[in-house]
Structure 1
Amino acid sequence: MIIFFPSLMLICYLLSKLTSSKLRPPLPPGPTPLPYIGSIISMLRNKPTFRWIHKMMDKINTKILCIRLGNVHVIAVSDPKIALEFLKDTDGIFSSRPDSMSGNLTSGGYLDTVLAPMGDHWKKMRKILSREILSGARHKWLLKKRVEEDENILRYINNQCKINHGVTRGFVNVRIIAQQYSSNMVRKLIFGSRYFGKGSADGGPGDEEIEHVDSLWTILVYLNAFCVTDYFPWLRWITDFDGHEKIIRNAILMSRKYQDALIDERIQQWKDGVRTKQDDLLDVLITLEHTRLTADEIKAQILVRLTRFLFLFFLFWLGRHQSLFCAILINFGVVQDLILAGFDNVSNNIEWAMAEMINQPRILDKAIHELDCVVGKDRLVQESDLPSLNYIKSCVKEAFRLHPVAPFNVPHVTTADSTVAGYFIPKGSHVLVSRLGLGRNPEVWDEPLTFNPDRHMKSDKEVVLTDLNLGTFSFSTGRRGCPAVLLGSTMTTMLLARLVQGFTWELPPNEPHVDLKEKLHDLAKAKPLLALVKPRLPHHLYPTS
């Protein structure tokens, strides 16, 4: 009897496991994992990981793939209908974020909004973001600062034309122009100034700004970069297995070297009564009246946004004296988010859009014609003109579709066992929606590898950059959808409109076309876009130094 009952219980347990496994749906298709380590060896032998994943999806001919890395099931999705099931239909259990080394470091221990798991902190930050930072009223309040940066980029390009020995044309690096515009804009909106230092004599970035931008790009490259220790967390205490941790720590220190001092100084100014009027988003964060944020939370929000999307901005409430002192403890979170959010997407989109348009003069001429008809050549295009510039917006949207800034969205993690598209999705799975798979899906788009803005022109309807059906993955959807749609759309469209309206664009001599190859390890253009530019508007319209 002593042996009988334990044996019976074991048999019942095994039978229940067997029965439940037969009743539940199968996992999505994928490579056969090894015990314990899963497919981690294959991942390490097939860098970059995102290209390995997409090759497997093509080889297996599946729109949903399951790869086990350690004990984590990584689910990749390239079909818009399946993606909507994850991000919208059942997003209640798919809206959290996984723990990762890079995410933890970048967000200062998940003090931000983008990388924070679902919970009270995320709800607080999201509420602040939507109501105080990215509201329509705040967007109008920041108009003057956006206009200053719209004019500054024209001034800088025009200066490059004049430098060429008196000839009013010159070579420009479009990548530098786009990065300068987006990083200047985010610094202007957050800190009230486009430069950390004095900038350069020609109106371009100085050493401080170049160093800052380089560090932001490094953070973006290594954020959610399939680090081995994310799947074997105990390794974090033993070794920096991939070398990722050292790189990202150094980049974070470099990016914060300039911005954190400004934040701490500004907090002290409000505490001492030296500053009494809001002028930028940092002031808004410091004087928020209904929600307390620490200084570390502010810093975390600003960096993640500065580098990731420059679209998200937060507020935090600092009371007087004691409340202000408490705010110093929170700086890291808010500022970090703001900086990372609007920086990469804008600059990547504009370089690719201009490269494709220069390669197809018909498209560039059509964009010029629209601007000349809607705006004319006797004034500069303004934000108020954007609703009427459907073809310009179609060029932006097509670049989002064909040339996304990253291969996948920020990972989601499921908080419960579930079934999606007829497959079993275990609790704790990391869900990756493929921006490439959605935008280049031949079942959704005709000639998906061809840059064709006309595909987005729908009769008399206004073109918008969002896509609620996820044919493109510009701003996502669901609870984790980007709340900075208005700011992101405005920045990107205005920059393209100003570049096309303000200058003629030609290839350098002896270059018959633009090389459209991608880098191996990311989706950026392999070679920076160099172009010969010349002012096309009356001289008095260009801002002067």
Structure 2
Amino acid sequence: MIIFILFLMSTFIFLLRCTSSKLRPPLPPGPKPLTYIGSLIPMLTNKPTFRWIDRMMEEMKTKIICIRIGTVHVITVSDPKIAREFLKEKDKMFASRPDCMSAYLTSDGYLNTSLVPMSDHWKNMRRIIATEIVSVAGHKWLQNKRDEEADNLLRYVYNRCKANVAVTGGVVNVRIIAQQYTSNIARKVMFGTNHFGKGSADGGHGDEEIENVESLFTILAYTYAFCVTDYFPWLRWVTDFDGHERIIRNALRTARKYQDPLIDERIRRWKDGVKTTKDDFLDVLINLQDPKLTADHIKAQTLDMMIATFDNTWNGIEWAIAEMINEPRILQKAVSELDFLVGKDRLVQESDMVHLNYIKACVKEALRLHPIAPFTLPRVASCDTTVAGYFIPKGSQVLISRLGLGRNPEVWDNPLTFNPDRHMNGKNEVVLTDHNLHMLSFSAGRRGCPGVLLGSTMAVMLLARLIQGFTWELQPNVPSIELEENLQNLWKAKPLLALAKPRLAHHLYPQVENKC
């Protein structure tokens, strides 16, 4: 009798599941998964994974794809309308992050903000970041530090090209100067200094800064990478299957080698009463009361902010200048705007940015065409739901394709052409974000980047200072700039080397040099 009842119950549950699966919408299209492992094998044999996903979406002619790896549904979107449904209309359902090895290690056990799954801690830290760190008031408070680095930028480039300026100018590695500027600002607003050591004789990075920045880039590259043990967690007890854990642990060790001692020393100075005034973001974090952060929380949040401050800007500006050198008309139009609105008797300042619409259009176009990462950070479905007529199971990881949005031929005319004029809106001010999600420069929704103001300011000032301060030309015997992407990421395949010559009155450059 008991066996018969159990049989009836199991039959009923089976029929109920079959009925519910028939009633619910289908999953988004995607490759047919194998039992248990899903699409693990093609993922491993088609590196890098993001290019494999792009190819599949193109071959299947779909703007949303579902790839099952293990038991996890990875859903990628390249259509702005569907992206808006995920990030705006149903943002609350997709405001969490997946639990994975790289995020756990980078956040020191989920003690920071950007990588933390949905929790009260995340809500508190998000509020703190928005009101105490990257608010409009906080932005104005630290403007002097950004101004110093804008001047240091000019000084460094001037020193690199002034020796032979009367004849040929100097060949400058634009990637190096862009990375130095952005990482210097990150250190300056965080720690009050732009160097961990003595720096180099010409004002550039020393060995300490170079090692630190390289470690931060490694952390960026491997955080939320397609790591096998994230989909099969039991493998972590057996082996570091694809080597990701070893790489990210080494990079974290290097990054914290330079940052954590500064944090410990600053905490001690506040505790002993040696320091009594707030001068940078680290001082703000140490003195928070609601909630009071531990040293571990402060270290995790500091690393989070260091990475977030410079990851997007340098790449976009290197690409922008490369594209503009290949299109002299665009470069001259940007120069003319600066000469007309700012002039050549003073240096462009942050207060000029509101008027520099073409400069901002050049930055925006670079971020559209050349994003730093192929996808946004993943979001997790907190419940079963339906998006764009497809079933999205609870626990699905959602990735919005920055490439898919920014290069979508249904949205952009000639999407692979660098054309800043497409962003000019007549009398309206150009902004780097896109409310309609036709491109993603700083993400959107609850998990969008809270540092949009800082990131936008850094990018526009970097491009404006470089274009106002110097002419940029091809090197001798170089017919054009190669615009090829690195296979493994979206960086320019080769660092941009260009001929730079000072174009302002020379007395402006020594003034900058003497201040540093």
Structure 1 position 485 matched with structure 2 position 448: no
Q: Which residue of 1 aligns with 2:513?
A: 544
Structure 1 position 464 matched with structure 2 position 446: no
Unpaired segments ≥5 residues, structure 2:
none
- Tell whether the 8 Å contact from 1:168 to 1:535 is kept in structure 2 after alignment: no
TM-score by length of 1: 0.93
Q: In the aligned structure 2, how far is the partner of 1:471 from the partner of 1:534?
A: 37
**How big is the shift at 1:181?**
0.3
Q: In the aligned structure 2, how far is the partner of 1:470 from the partner of 1:168?
A: 44
Secondary structure, counterpart of 2:373 in structure 1:
coil
Secondary structure, counterpart of 2:116 in structure 1:
coil
- Tell whether the 8 Å contact from 1:84 to 1:470 is kept in structure 2 after alignment: yes
- Tell whether the 8 Å contact from 2:82 to 2:388 is kept in structure 1 after alignment: yes
**How big is the shift at 1:162?**
2.4
CA deviation profile, 1:278-299 (whole Å, cap 9, x unmatched): 1111111112243211111111
Q: Which residue of 2 aligns with 1:514?
A: 481
TM-score by length of 2: 0.98
The structure 1 residue matched to 2:366, chosen from 394, 399, 410, is 399
Q: In the aligned structure 1, how far is the partner of 2:165 from the partner of 2:348?
A: 29
Q: In the aligned structure 1, how far is the partner of 2:122 from the partner of 2:109?
A: 13
Q: In the aligned structure 1, how far is the partner of 2:395 from the partner of 2:66?
A: 13
Secondary structure, counterpart of 2:309 in structure 1:
coil
Q: In the aligned structure 2, how far is the partner of 1:168 from the partner of 1:494?
A: 26
- Tell whether the 8 Å contact from 1:162 to 1:168 is kept in structure 2 after alignment: no
Structure 1 position 337 matched with structure 2 position 304: yes
**How big is the shift at 1:346?**
0.8
Q: Which residue of 2 aligns with 1:297?
A: 297
**How big is the shift at 1:92?**
1.1
Q: Which residue of 2 aligns with 1:129?
A: 129
Secondary structure, counterpart of 1:544 in structure 2:
helix
Q: Which residue of 2 aligns with 1:101?
A: 101
Q: In the aligned structure 2, how far is the partner of 1:369 from the partner of 1:540?
A: 21
Q: In the aligned structure 1, how far is the partner of 2:65 from the partner of 2:228?
A: 19
- Tell whether the 8 Å contact from 2:162 to 2:501 is kept in structure 1 after alignment: no
- Tell whether the 8 Å contact from 1:396 to 1:492 is kept in structure 2 after alignment: yes
Structure 1 position 219 matched with structure 2 position 219: yes
- Counting only pairs closer than 5 Å after superposition, residues 164-183 of structure 1 correspond to structure 2 as 164=164, 169-183=169-183
Secondary structure, counterpart of 2:413 in structure 1:
coil
Calculate the aligned-residue CA RMSD, in Å.
1.0
Q: In the aligned structure 1, how far is the partner of 2:205 from the partner of 2:5?
A: 77
Q: In the aligned structure 2, how far is the partner of 1:150 from the partner of 1:221?
A: 27
- Tell whether the 8 Å contact from 1:161 to 1:167 is kept in structure 2 after alignment: no
Q: In the aligned structure 2, how far is the partner of 1:477 from the partner of 1:382?
A: 28
Q: In the aligned structure 1, how far is the partner of 2:289 from the partner of 2:52?
A: 49
Which protein has greater RCO, CA pairs closer than 8 Å, 6+ apart?
A: 2
**How big is the shift at 1:165?**
8.7
**How big is the shift at 1:70?**
0.3
Q: Which residue of 1 aligns with 2:379?
A: 412
Q: In the aligned structure 2, how far is the partner of 1:297 from the partner of 1:467?
A: 33
Q: Which residue of 2 aligns with 1:11?
A: 11
Q: Which residue of 1 aligns with 2:56?
A: 56
Counterpart AA for 1:537: L
Secondary structure, counterpart of 1:419 in structure 2:
strand
- Tell whether the 8 Å contact from 1:505 to 1:531 is kept in structure 2 after alignment: yes
Q: Call closer, same or farther: CA 1:207–1:2 in 2, change over 3 Å.
A: closer
Structure 1 position 533 matched with structure 2 position 500: yes
Q: In the aligned structure 2, how far is the partner of 1:470 from the partner of 1:286?
A: 36
- Tell whether the 8 Å contact from 1:191 to 1:282 is kept in structure 2 after alignment: yes
Structure 1 position 152 matched with structure 2 position 152: yes
The structure 1 residue matched to 2:462, chosen from 479, 495, 508, is 495
Structure 1 position 347 matched with structure 2 position 329: no
Q: Which residue of 2 aligns with 1:246?
A: 246
Counterpart AA for 1:421: A
Secondary structure, counterpart of 1:424 in structure 2:
strand
- Counting only pairs closer than 5 Å after superposition, residues 196-211 of structure 1 correspond to structure 2 as 196-211=196-211
Q: In the aligned structure 2, how far is the partner of 1:348 from the partner of 1:212?
A: 18
Between 1:529-538 and 1:337-346, the stretch displaced more is 337-346
**How big is the shift at 1:148?**
0.1
**How big is the shift at 1:223?**
1.2
Q: Call closer, same or farther: CA 1:2–1:284 in 2, change over 3 Å.
A: closer
- Tell whether the 8 Å contact from 1:402 to 1:451 is kept in structure 2 after alignment: yes
- Tell whether the 8 Å contact from 2:30 to 2:65 is kept in structure 1 after alignment: yes
Q: In the aligned structure 1, how far is the partner of 2:380 from the partner of 2:4?
A: 42
Counterpart AA for 2:374: P
Unpaired segments ≥5 residues, structure 1:
302-334
Secondary structure, counterpart of 1:442 in structure 2:
coil
Q: In the aligned structure 1, how far is the partner of 2:257 from the partner of 2:499?
A: 36
Between 1:417-426 and 1:217-226, the stretch displaced more is 217-226
Secondary structure, counterpart of 1:341 in structure 2:
helix
- Tell whether the 8 Å contact from 1:174 to 1:530 is kept in structure 2 after alignment: yes
Structure 1 position 422 matched with structure 2 position 389: yes
Structure 1 position 357 matched with structure 2 position 324: yes
Q: Which residue of 2 aligns with 1:111?
A: 111
Structure 1 position 258 matched with structure 2 position 258: yes
**How big is the shift at 1:457?**
0.3
**How big is the shift at 1:91?**
1.1
Counterpart AA for 1:524: W
Counterpart AA for 2:362: C
Q: Call closer, same or farther: CA 1:118–1:508 in 2, change over 3 Å.
A: same
Counterpart AA for 1:544: E
Secondary structure, counterpart of 2:17 in structure 1:
helix
CA deviation profile, 1:61-91 (whole Å, cap 9, x unmatched): 0000000000000000000110111111011
Q: In the aligned structure 1, how far is the partner of 2:184 from the partner of 2:361?
A: 25
Counterpart AA for 2:188: K
Q: In the aligned structure 1, how far is the partner of 2:13 from the partner of 2:213?
A: 57
Q: In the aligned structure 2, how far is the partner of 1:516 from the partner of 1:496?
A: 18
**How big is the shift at 1:163?**
3.8
The structure 1 residue matched to 2:400, chosen from 407, 410, 433, is 433
Q: In the aligned structure 2, how far is the partner of 1:276 from the partner of 1:167?
A: 52
Q: In the aligned structure 2, how far is the partner of 1:410 from the partner of 1:425?
A: 18
Counterpart AA for 1:427: K
- Tell whether the 8 Å contact from 2:162 to 2:502 is kept in structure 1 after alignment: no
Q: In the aligned structure 1, how far is the partner of 2:507 from the partner of 2:288?
A: 42
Secondary structure, counterpart of 2:74 in structure 1:
strand
Q: In the aligned structure 1, how far is the partner of 2:450 from the partner of 2:223?
A: 20
CA deviation profile, 1:246-292 (whole Å, cap 9, x unmatched): 11100010011011000000000011111111111111111224321
| Number of matched pairs | 512
Q: In the aligned structure 1, how far is the partner of 2:139 from the partner of 2:2?
A: 74
Q: In the aligned structure 2, how far is the partner of 1:165 from the partner of 1:448?
A: 38
Between 1:466-475 and 1:497-506, the stretch displaced more is 466-475
Q: Which residue of 2 aligns with 1:86?
A: 86
> What is the percent sequence identity of the aligned residues?
70
Q: In the aligned structure 2, how far is the partner of 1:456 from the partner of 1:232?
A: 44
Q: In the aligned structure 2, how far is the partner of 1:167 from the partner of 1:198?
A: 32
Q: Which residue of 2 aligns with 1:229?
A: 229
